[in-house]
Amino acid sequence: MSEKPVKEIDVESLDAELAAAREIEKNKNTFWGKLTALFALAMAIFHIVTVFYPLGVIPQRGIHAAFAFTILFLSMPISDHLGKKLKANAGFKKVGRVVDVGCVIAFWAAIYMCCYEYDHLADHLGIPTMTAAVAGAILLVLVLEGTRRCLGNIMPILASLFVVYALVGQYIPGRLGHRGYSFVKICQYLAVDLDGIFGTTISVSAGTIFMFVMFGAFLEASGCSQFINDLALSLTGKLRCGPALAAVVASALMGCINGSAVANVVGTGTFTIPLMKSRGYSSEFASGVESVASTGGQILPPVMGSGAFLMVVFTLVPYSQIVVAALVPAILYFLGAGIAVYAQGEIGDVQLLPEDQIPKTGKVLREGWFYLVIIAVLVYCLLIAQFSPARSALYACVSVPVVMILDKKKRFPISKIPAALVKSGYSALSVVSGCACAGIVVAMVSRTGLGVVFGDAMISAARGNLFLSLLFTAMACIILGMGLPTTSAYVIAAAILAPALVKLGLSLLTAHLFVFYFACLSAITPPVALAAYAGAGIAGCDPMKTAINACKIGFAGFIVPFVFCYNSAMMLDGTLPQIAMVCGTALVGCIGMSCGMQGWYFSGQRKIPAVVRILVIGAGLCMMIPIDILSLVGLVILVGLAVIEMGKNKKAKAAA
């Protein structure tokens, strides 16, 4: 019986940044494409200047948003987002362009009104006027429409539901009810209150995230991704599982270039997935490995995803402390993926790479050492000199052409700088629109007190049990992440769910890190696993099978956040013996679970029986649970089974 053909997946449509890049590339030589590029260049220059000479609160955040939505409206015309028939209609395209230009003018006018109103609030005893209401209404409509074009329907619909909730709260019975707000009051609040559209999310986007997007654009233009792929393959290529392990290493390192899981899959997967398939890995496993590793790039220090910078503002914890707290969990995540890859390489029909296809590590480092220097500049500025994240990222951008001038073959010419600046403006669209729309949600949650009510309801449903509350939170983050970018999913979950976890005794940083992890993991969790879909699109296989494989490969990542909630020593917060104990047991447990999930446990090229597999997974889980007696039981089972399986393997070899 022939296999059912797999439906071709449009990979670029899965990620807003990739979809935007496709539209921009298509229109780059048109009048509108050139005009958009000028705005993108101006946006980048604006952010460079304001690193040293920041504007006032509303002007800085407002102009940042205005630039982004200008680029968005011009590069993603309304005629392309209202159905195929209208898209093909030449007359409607012209009308649509008038609408797009009108949106741009209205957005800048609204920003001007917000700035004027904010500066004159004192003259009105702190009470906003109708000018603020008009500005807020314009921004509300345009942010929702721009986000719809960039990120799809789910985020705008969610934000709209929260606005409706704020409007009709007085008609809702029970604890979810509130006094209700008029549309005028809501619009005034969104326009000039620092918990409105120009609140925390846009402040981080304008003050920090954009500069890291720019750093990613400079690294990409420098050819760093090829160096990362070559370095990863040179380090792992001689192992049977080398191609798959190279995918894990390369995608982890690519996290410092791109904070999007889907974009990371596309960036490294076009090289690693075909390579894994050529050596004998199944399409589903190869694409699963790539999606897991690319998703983990957002949680790997020292340069984590955009959510980490938002976490700084939400928790008031220094970025360096967040990096330290996230280090061991990230290592365990990638260790689990690496062990899964090794195990599958042992039991699968996987062939070694030919010697001539493995780059020499020494040669790779000699030809690309300056990339390591560039990353070192960023790490030094962030963690040692402790400059602001924005200034650190800017210095790292400057270091790209400066350091590369030392290499005659790969110099970064001045002519490449404008293109990199333009690219950073385009690449920021999904982040800025997501942050602006998430700002509407956060504003409504703050105004109505929904976060407190929802948190109390969750605690009540869990009957004050921390584990159940964590489980509910994880499920909510995964559901949110099914239709939202990681940053937006984290922001909403952090506003609604994190306070409830703090009430149950977790530190603010622990609660937010837990939420952030599961917002990231939603990219590989069925049924909507965008990173897995992207990997399946490259591999040409079933996306659901890819997602299931990804969950098995990254299984440890779903357990680790629960562990650090019960034992903060995993976040390097504790005495040295405590840290050593929890990290050591978690390490062994991670190995056990990953091996069990793949059906291999020191058994040579033989799969272990189902009963042994269950025992290995269970014992690994016992090792992860921070209870001494369970850790001891798990260790005894794992050691015993290892001895038995190695003995069986030895006998099988002798018999052969």
Average pLDDT over residues 488-517: 89
Would residue 85 count as lying in a domain? yes
Length of the chain: 656
Domain's final residue, options 199, 216, 242:
199
Would residue 171 count as lying in a domain? yes
Average pLDDT over residues 331-351: 86
* Contact by Cβ (8 Å): 570, 564: yes
- Quote the tokens at residue 54: 């920041």
Domain's final residue, options 199, 218, 236:
199
Considering only 120-134, 140-154, 255-269, 422-436, which range has the smallest mean pLDDT? 255-269
Query: Residue 128 contacts by C-beta under 8 Å, 6 or more apart in sequence?
Result: 117, 121, 188, 189, 191, 192
* Contact by Cβ (8 Å): 623, 631: yes
Instruction: State how many domains the chain has.
Output: 2
DSSP letters for 123-135: GGTT---HHHHHH
Q: In 10 A of CB 75, how many CB atoms?
A: 28
Domain's final residue, options 169, 199, 229:
199
* pLDDT of 7 over the 60 cut: no
Rounded to 10°, the helix 31-52/57-75 angle is 160
Of the candidates 43, 48, 22, 44, the residue with the CA atom closest to the CA atom of residue 33: 22
Average pLDDT over residues 223-252: 82
Q: What is d(CA 122, CA 316) in angstroms, rounded to the nearest whole number? A: 28
Residue 40 confidence (pLDDT): 93
* pLDDT of 1 over the 50 cut: no
Q: What is d(CA 284, CA 460) in angstroms, rounded to the nearest whole number? A: 41
Q: What is d(CA 231, CA 237) in angstroms, rounded to the nearest whole number? A: 10
Residue 18 confidence (pLDDT): 62
Would residue 274 count as lying in a domain? no
Residue 2 confidence (pLDDT): 43
Would residue 15 count as lying in a domain? yes
- 426-473 residue pLDDT tens: 888 888 998 899 899 989 988 888 887 887 788 888 888 899 999 999
Would residue 91 count as lying in a domain? yes
Residue 637 confidence (pLDDT): 94
End-to-end CA distance of the chain: 35
Taking the C-alpha atoms of 570, 571, 577 and 582 in order, what is their torsion angle to the nearest 10 degrees? 0
- At 272, is the pLDDT very low, low, confident or very high (cuts 50, 70, 90)? confident
- 19-53 residue pLDDT tens: 656 666 677 778 888 899 999 999 999 999 999 99
Which alpha helices (H) appear in 380-449, and where do they start and end?
389-404, 416-427, 429-448
Domain span at residue 18 reads 11-199
Would residue 433 count as lying in a domain? no
Would residue 74 count as lying in a domain? yes
- Quote the tokens at residue 637: 């089972």
Residue 23 confidence (pLDDT): 63
Average pLDDT over residues 325-334: 92
pTM of full prediction above 0.95: no
Question: How high does pLDDT run on average in the chain?
Answer: 86
Would residue 28 count as lying in a domain? yes
* pLDDT of 484 over the 90 cut: no
279/9: higher pLDDT: 279
Q: What is d(CA 613, CA 599) in angstroms, rounded to the nearest whole number? A: 6
Residue 368 confidence (pLDDT): 85
* Element of type H or E holding 73: helix 57-75
